[in-house]
Amino acid sequence: MIPETIDAARNGDAGAFALIVERYRQSVFRICVRILGDGDEAEDAVQETFVRAWQSLQGYDPRYSIATWLRTIACRLCYDVLRRRTRRQQYELDACRQGSGDGSGDPESLRMSRELENLFRKAASGLSPMQRTVFVLAEIEQLPSDEVHRITGWSAVQIKSNLYIARKKVRKAIEKEL
Protein backbone atom coordinates (compact mmCIF):
# COMPACT_ATOMS: atom_id res chain seq x y z
CA MET A 1 0.00 0.00 0.00
CA ILE A 2 1.33 3.42 -0.97
CA PRO A 3 2.28 5.45 2.13
CA GLU A 4 0.57 8.51 0.64
CA THR A 5 -2.76 6.69 0.60
CA ILE A 6 -2.34 5.74 4.25
CA ASP A 7 -1.35 9.31 5.13
CA ALA A 8 -4.39 10.67 3.29
CA ALA A 9 -6.65 8.23 5.14
CA ARG A 10 -5.04 9.29 8.41
CA ASN A 11 -5.91 12.86 7.53
CA GLY A 12 -9.57 11.89 7.23
CA ASP A 13 -9.80 11.15 3.50
CA ALA A 14 -12.57 8.54 3.23
CA GLY A 15 -11.76 7.91 -0.43
CA ALA A 16 -8.20 6.91 0.44
CA PHE A 17 -9.54 4.68 3.18
CA ALA A 18 -11.86 3.02 0.66
CA LEU A 19 -8.77 2.03 -1.32
CA ILE A 20 -7.29 0.45 1.81
CA VAL A 21 -10.56 -1.44 2.38
CA GLU A 22 -10.59 -2.74 -1.18
CA ARG A 23 -6.97 -3.77 -1.00
CA TYR A 24 -7.16 -5.66 2.29
CA ARG A 25 -10.76 -6.83 2.74
CA GLN A 26 -10.10 -10.27 1.24
CA SER A 27 -7.06 -11.07 3.34
CA VAL A 28 -8.87 -9.88 6.47
CA PHE A 29 -11.95 -11.93 5.51
CA ARG A 30 -9.83 -15.05 4.94
CA ILE A 31 -8.46 -14.90 8.48
CA CYS A 32 -11.84 -14.07 10.00
CA VAL A 33 -13.72 -16.86 8.23
CA ARG A 34 -11.14 -19.42 9.26
CA ILE A 35 -11.00 -18.33 12.86
CA LEU A 36 -14.76 -17.97 13.21
CA GLY A 37 -15.81 -20.76 10.85
CA ASP A 38 -18.82 -18.79 9.64
CA GLY A 39 -19.14 -16.60 6.53
CA ASP A 40 -21.75 -14.18 7.93
CA GLU A 41 -19.93 -13.64 11.20
CA ALA A 42 -16.69 -13.18 9.27
CA GLU A 43 -18.28 -10.45 7.13
CA ASP A 44 -19.45 -8.67 10.27
CA ALA A 45 -15.94 -8.99 11.71
CA VAL A 46 -14.44 -7.52 8.52
CA GLN A 47 -16.81 -4.58 8.74
CA GLU A 48 -16.01 -4.00 12.38
CA THR A 49 -12.26 -4.36 11.73
CA PHE A 50 -12.23 -1.57 9.16
CA VAL A 51 -14.47 0.69 11.21
CA ARG A 52 -12.15 0.31 14.20
CA ALA A 53 -9.14 0.81 11.95
CA TRP A 54 -10.64 4.10 10.71
CA GLN A 55 -11.28 5.25 14.25
CA SER A 56 -7.74 4.51 15.37
CA LEU A 57 -5.77 5.37 12.24
CA GLN A 58 -4.09 8.20 14.13
CA GLY A 59 -2.58 5.59 16.43
CA TYR A 60 -1.24 3.45 13.59
CA ASP A 61 2.54 3.12 13.63
CA PRO A 62 3.77 3.41 10.01
CA ARG A 63 6.93 1.47 10.88
CA TYR A 64 4.84 -1.70 10.78
CA SER A 65 2.90 -3.13 7.88
CA ILE A 66 -0.71 -2.00 7.63
CA ALA A 67 -1.64 -5.61 6.76
CA THR A 68 -0.25 -6.78 10.13
CA TRP A 69 -2.07 -3.96 11.89
CA LEU A 70 -5.39 -4.88 10.26
CA ARG A 71 -4.80 -8.56 11.02
CA THR A 72 -4.20 -7.62 14.65
CA ILE A 73 -7.54 -5.81 14.89
CA ALA A 74 -9.33 -8.65 13.08
CA CYS A 75 -7.75 -11.35 15.23
CA ARG A 76 -8.63 -9.53 18.43
CA LEU A 77 -12.23 -9.19 17.31
CA CYS A 78 -12.51 -12.82 16.22
CA TYR A 79 -10.82 -14.05 19.38
CA ASP A 80 -13.35 -12.11 21.48
CA VAL A 81 -16.23 -13.59 19.46
CA LEU A 82 -14.83 -17.10 19.96
CA ARG A 83 -14.37 -16.56 23.69
CA ARG A 84 -17.92 -15.28 24.10
CA ARG A 85 -19.18 -18.27 22.14
CA THR A 86 -17.27 -20.65 24.37
CA ARG A 87 -18.54 -18.91 27.46
CA ARG A 88 -22.10 -19.31 26.31
CA GLN A 89 -21.34 -22.94 25.47
CA GLN A 90 -22.62 -22.42 21.98
CA TYR A 91 -19.53 -23.45 20.22
CA GLU A 92 -21.08 -26.15 18.17
CA LEU A 93 -20.34 -26.91 14.64
CA ASP A 94 -23.14 -25.95 12.33
CA ALA A 95 -22.52 -27.83 9.16
CA CYS A 96 -25.50 -26.16 7.49
CA ARG A 97 -23.94 -22.73 7.77
CA GLN A 98 -23.02 -21.30 4.43
CA GLY A 99 -19.30 -21.12 3.97
CA SER A 100 -17.49 -19.11 1.40
CA GLY A 101 -16.27 -20.35 -1.87
CA ASP A 102 -13.16 -19.77 -3.84
CA GLY A 103 -13.35 -16.71 -6.00
CA SER A 104 -12.47 -18.49 -9.24
CA GLY A 105 -16.13 -18.64 -10.29
CA ASP A 106 -15.83 -22.25 -11.47
CA PRO A 107 -18.72 -24.24 -9.87
CA GLU A 108 -16.53 -27.30 -9.36
CA SER A 109 -13.75 -25.41 -7.60
CA LEU A 110 -16.39 -23.54 -5.61
CA ARG A 111 -17.84 -26.85 -4.42
CA MET A 112 -14.38 -28.20 -3.61
CA SER A 113 -13.52 -25.05 -1.69
CA ARG A 114 -16.72 -25.22 0.33
CA GLU A 115 -16.09 -28.88 1.14
CA LEU A 116 -12.58 -27.99 2.25
CA GLU A 117 -13.82 -25.15 4.46
CA ASN A 118 -16.51 -27.40 5.96
CA LEU A 119 -13.93 -30.06 6.66
CA PHE A 120 -11.73 -27.48 8.34
CA ARG A 121 -14.66 -26.27 10.44
CA LYS A 122 -15.26 -29.82 11.63
CA ALA A 123 -11.58 -30.49 12.26
CA ALA A 124 -11.09 -27.20 14.12
CA SER A 125 -14.27 -27.43 16.17
CA GLY A 126 -12.39 -29.13 19.01
CA LEU A 127 -9.82 -26.36 19.31
CA SER A 128 -9.83 -23.69 21.99
CA PRO A 129 -10.02 -20.04 20.80
CA MET A 130 -6.30 -19.63 21.39
CA GLN A 131 -5.39 -22.85 19.60
CA ARG A 132 -7.64 -21.97 16.68
CA THR A 133 -6.23 -18.46 16.32
CA VAL A 134 -2.63 -19.67 16.45
CA PHE A 135 -3.38 -22.53 14.06
CA VAL A 136 -4.94 -20.23 11.45
CA LEU A 137 -2.18 -17.64 11.67
CA ALA A 138 0.84 -19.92 11.88
CA GLU A 139 -0.19 -23.09 10.08
CA ILE A 140 -2.60 -21.94 7.37
CA GLU A 141 -1.57 -18.34 6.81
CA GLN A 142 2.06 -19.37 7.39
CA LEU A 143 2.93 -16.22 9.24
CA PRO A 144 6.31 -16.26 11.00
CA SER A 145 6.17 -16.73 14.75
CA ASP A 146 7.35 -13.16 15.47
CA GLU A 147 4.44 -11.80 13.45
CA VAL A 148 2.02 -14.13 15.25
CA HIS A 149 3.50 -12.78 18.48
CA ARG A 150 3.05 -9.19 17.27
CA ILE A 151 -0.56 -9.86 16.30
CA THR A 152 -1.64 -11.83 19.34
CA GLY A 153 0.73 -10.58 22.02
CA TRP A 154 1.16 -14.13 23.26
CA SER A 155 4.58 -15.43 24.23
CA ALA A 156 6.65 -17.69 21.96
CA VAL A 157 6.08 -20.59 24.36
CA GLN A 158 2.30 -20.06 24.32
CA ILE A 159 2.29 -19.90 20.52
CA LYS A 160 4.45 -22.99 20.19
CA SER A 161 2.53 -25.12 22.67
CA ASN A 162 -0.90 -24.10 21.33
CA LEU A 163 0.22 -24.76 17.77
CA TYR A 164 1.53 -28.17 18.76
CA ILE A 165 -1.75 -29.16 20.42
CA ALA A 166 -3.83 -27.71 17.57
CA ARG A 167 -1.84 -29.62 14.94
CA LYS A 168 -2.28 -32.83 16.91
CA LYS A 169 -6.05 -32.33 17.25
CA VAL A 170 -6.60 -31.32 13.63
CA ARG A 171 -4.48 -34.22 12.38
CA LYS A 172 -6.54 -36.63 14.45
CA ALA A 173 -9.80 -35.13 13.20
CA ILE A 174 -8.67 -35.14 9.56
CA GLU A 175 -7.58 -38.77 9.71
CA LYS A 176 -10.92 -39.65 11.24
CA GLU A 177 -12.93 -37.69 8.64
CA LEU A 178 -11.07 -38.70 5.48
Partner 1 sequence: MDRYTDFIEKMRGSHPQMPHQEEVTGRILERIQTLPQSGAKTATALQKTPVIRLRRAIPALVGIAAAALMVCAPLTARLKADTAVRTDISSLNMRTYAAMSRPDAQLEHYRRIKALKQSVTGLEDRAAKPQDHENRH
C-beta of residue 6 within 8 angstroms of C-beta of residue 66: yes
For residues 157 and 178, which CB has a smaller minimum distance to partner 1 in the complex? 178
Burial environment of residue 74 by CB neighbours within 10 A (0 to 12, 13 to 18, 19 or more): buried
Q: Is 24 among the residues that bind partner 1 (CB under 8 A)?
A: no
Distance CA 147, CA 170 (A): 22
Helices assigned H by DSSP within 125-155: 129-134, 145-152
Q: Is 14 among the residues that bind partner 1 (CB under 8 A)?
A: yes
User: Of 85-114, which residues contact partner 1 (CB under 8 A)?
Assistant: 98-103, 113
C-beta of residue 46 within 8 angstroms of C-beta of residue 54: no
Could you list the residues that contact partner 1 (CB under 8 A)? 10, 12, 14, 17-18, 21-22, 25-26, 29-30, 33-34, 39, 42-43, 46-47, 50-60, 69-70, 72-73, 75-76, 79, 98-103, 113, 116-117, 119-120, 123, 133, 139-140, 142, 150-154, 167, 170-171, 174-175, 178
